Amino acid sequence: MIRLANIELVVATLAASLSAVGVFHASGFPRTSAYLPTAVLSVMTLLLVLWAFQAFLKLRRNQSEVLNIGKLSARRFLSLTFGSATLIALAPVLGFITSFIIFIPFVSFILGYRRWKPLLIAGIVFSVLVYLIFRILLERPLPPELFNQFF
């Protein structure tokens, strides 16, 4: 039997290590480019270290519950993993905006939301936010969208 805190400790420690490497790497960027990734990755590293510490305390106090994975949870996890890998692979081809318009409703549907109108609105709103953050706020270009090639 695997305890949930064991998995949390390993995942949080590995993710915190990778995040710390990201902080170190981003700190070598030019000053204006380094601020946002360094800040985000630093906060992420801190939160992951806190998560690992919390999991360690649960293990030490023997307060961790046994992990019980049902078929539905396993199916959702595999679907989300496959969907995320597909998003990463297709985003450079389709473009980030198009990919998120597809991905957000897909993930929400897998998680059990069945009302399509709010799902599509959420995908569009998230895509608009990505556009505004990168193009307007950060003044960074996004990869070209596939549908732009037809116009």
> How many angstroms separate the Cα of 63 from the Cα of each of 53, 54, 56, 57?
14, 11, 10, 8
Give the pLDDT confidence of 103-116 residue by residue, as tens digits: 888 888 877 777 88
* Contact call for residues 19 and 44 (beta carbons, < 8 A): yes
Which of 85, 65, 81 is closest to 73 using CA atoms? 81
User: Bridge-partner residues for 3, per DSSP?
Assistant: 66
Quote the pLDDT of residue 55: 93
Give the pLDDT confidence of 5-26 residue by residue, as tens digits: 888 999 999 999 999 999 999 9
pTM for this one?
A: 0.58
Question: Comparing 46 with 29, which gets the higher pLDDT?
Answer: 46
- The residue-averaged pLDDT of 31-54 equals 91
Whole-angstrom distance, CA of residue 50 vs CA of residue 34:
24
Q: How many percent of the chain have pLDDT more than 90? A: 26
In the block, which residue shows the tokens 């090639």? 149
Quote the pLDDT of residue 151: 52
Give the pLDDT confidence of 119-151 residue by residue, as tens digits: 888 888 888 888 888 778 877 777 777 766 655
